[in-house]
Amino acid sequence: MLRISKLTDYAIVVTAAMAGDPKRIFSAAELSSETHLEPPTVAKVLKMLTRSDLVQSFRGASGGYRLARTPADITVAQLIVAMEGPIGMTQCSVHQGLCSTEAVCALRGHWQQISRAVHAALSEMTLLDMTRPTITHTLVPELKLHNQTTESP
Amino acid sequence: MLRISKLTDYAIVVTAAMAGDPKRIFSAAELSSETHLEPPTVAKVLKMLTRSDLVQSFRGASGGYRLARTPADITVAQLIVAMEGPIGMTQCSVHQGLCSTEAVCALRGHWQQISRAVHAALSEMTLLDMTRPTITHTLVPELKLHNQTTESP
DNA sequence: GCAAATAGTACAATTTTAGTCCTCTTTACC
DNA sequence: GGTAAAGAGGACTAAAATTGTACTATTTGC
Ligand code: FES
Ligand code: FES
């Protein structure tokens, strides 16, 4: 299914909520009730994002979190990388020894190429885009070109 | 990490091996020794691919498997879909009820857009491409346009 | 009929992921 | 200075998904 983890999904929900008011400092509890996610989960996500410098944290009473940059400068790719590590689709992008003859195997280079393409696609969507009304920048005509033979349940 | 499953990886290794001689009928055992993957694993993968009509199977003595189409007509996207189901990156692409207010949530549509972009990227790589020497069709200049701020170990 | 080979299904073990909790440190405010 | 609010960090449990394997049935060539 080629999916991101739930935690990553949450991270985007939470940051999208923060993007609604980029200057404001939100406590984890506030974000929890706003997003309807469990407080410990929200806290965990925010901590991870803080370590990657995508959000700023303020400790102490009346502390909280704030986006470290403007929503337009935070991409989905960055969020995914922060939560899951580098985008690489195969084991063999990292290790080797899976394939027939490692030395001869052409697949590896191609996987890296594919990963870059995916990364590029994910880099084009920013948090700002995500907060816009859904079908905003409709590239609908373009989409018709790829008629999904593979449906979507 | 946004990765495909190992089984999917194997599927591509196996089909790439078959692409080396598209007309030939390989037994699962042959493919196993050629790819250095365990026989039961190779068998499982081939069965799944058969159900999606990406490979043809021939039962009985001297039976085996063969690609159902030419390598140029089988894309990585098709292989991934065959192994993992439709490409959709989030839960919320399928279910709903995760986000603040489902009705208002702008994310869902954007996720679908992203998934389509990824699918398009994966559709551009065929099995034929995969069997070519690694850096074959270098779209390198194009890649430079997206300077990865997020590195890649 | 027999042997080779796939189909299909079911299962156990492993590995990941999710989710929670607890303790420590920092800071605002009285 | 004391107290309470809030985050940092890590450890731990439980649940889910993935892997890998085994077994039985069916098909086909000789
Ligand atoms: S399949 Fe990844 S290096 Fe060969
Ligand atoms: S986050 Fe997916 S629908 Fe809102």
Where are the extended beta strands (E) located within B33-100? Answer: 55-58, 64-67
Residue A141 located in a structural domain: no
Closest CA to B65 of B13, B30, B107, B93: B30
Residue B149 located in a structural domain: no
Nucleotide C2's nearest residue (CA vs C1') is B61
**Percent of chain B at pLDDT exceeding 70:** 76
Pairing of β B64-67 and β B55-58 = antiparallel
Interatomic separation, CA of residue B43 and C1' of nucleotide D20, rounded (Å): 11
Pairing of β B64-67 and β A55-58 = unpaired
pLDDT value at residue B146? 32
Highest mean pLDDT among A149-153, B6-10, B140-144: B6-10
Residue A17 located in a structural domain: yes
Would you place residue B90 in the very low, low, confident or very high pLDDT band (cuts 50, 70, 90)? confident
State residue B50 phi and psi, 5-degree precision: -65, -40
Chain A residue closest in CA terms to B139: A113
Residues B48, B71: contact at Cβ < 8 Å? no
Residues A89, A117: contact at Cβ < 8 Å? no
**In terms of pLDDT, which residue wins out, B145 or A71?**
A71
Closest CA to A128 of A20, A2, A55, A9: A20
Least CB-CB distance to A108: which of B35, B122, B134?
B134
Residue A34 located in a structural domain: yes
A128 lines ligand 1 (CB under 6 A): no
pLDDT value at residue A26? 96
B96 lines ligand 2 (CB under 6 A): yes
Strand D and chain B: which residues 18-57 have CB closer than 7 Å?
38, 40-41, 44
Read off the CATH number of the domain in which A116 is found.
1.10.10.10
Residue B13 located in a structural domain: yes
pLDDT value at residue B112? 83
Average pLDDT over residues B118-133: 88
Direct distance between the N- and C-terminal alpha carbons of chain B, in angstroms, rounded to an integer: 12
Residue A50 located in a structural domain: yes
B108 lines ligand 2 (CB under 6 A): yes
Determine if the pTM surpasses 0.85.
no
- The two three-digit tokens of residue A128, written as one number: 């700002």
pLDDT value at residue A146? 32
Query: What does the alpha-carbon distance between residue B36 and residue A99 come to, in Å, rounded to a whole number?
Result: 7
**pLDDT over 50 (residue A137):** no
- The two three-digit tokens of residue A145, written as one number: 């070109």
User: Could you tell me the distance, in angstroms and rounded to a whole number, from the CA of residue A132 to the centre of ligand 2?
Assistant: 13
Average pLDDT over residues A19-26: 94
Average pLDDT over residues B115-137: 81
pLDDT value at residue B92? 63
Residue B146 located in a structural domain: no
Q: How many domains does chain B have?
A: 1
Where are the extended beta strands (E) located within chain A? Answer: 55-58, 64-67
Query: What does the alpha-carbon distance between residue A83 and residue A76 come to, in Å, rounded to a whole number?
Result: 11
Write out the residue range of the structural domain in which residue B91 sits. 6-131
Place of tokens 């009473």: A61
Q: Determine which of A17-26, A45-54, A90-99 has the lowest per-residue pLDDT on average.
A: A90-99
pLDDT value at residue B66? 95
Residue B139 located in a structural domain: no
pLDDT value at residue B67? 96
pLDDT value at residue A91? 66
- For ligand 1, atom 3, the nearest C-alpha belongs to A108
Query: What does the alpha-carbon distance between residue A134 and residue B108 come to, in Å, rounded to a whole number?
Result: 7
Strand D and chain A: which residues 96-125 have CB closer than 7 Å?
none
- The two three-digit tokens of residue B3, written as one number: 């990765």
Write out which nucleotides of chain C lie closer than 7 A to a protein Cβ: 3-10, 17-21, 25-29
**pLDDT over 80 (residue B147):** no
Residue A61 carries which side chain, given as an amino acid letter? A
**In terms of pLDDT, which residue wins out, A78 or B135?**
A78
**pLDDT over 80 (residue B49):** yes
- Indicate the SS3 state at residue A112: helix
pLDDT value at residue B142? 36
pLDDT value at residue B19? 93
pLDDT value at residue B150? 35
Query: What does the alpha-carbon distance between residue B114 and residue B112 come to, in Å, rounded to a whole number?
Result: 5
Chain A residue closest in CA terms to B12: A107
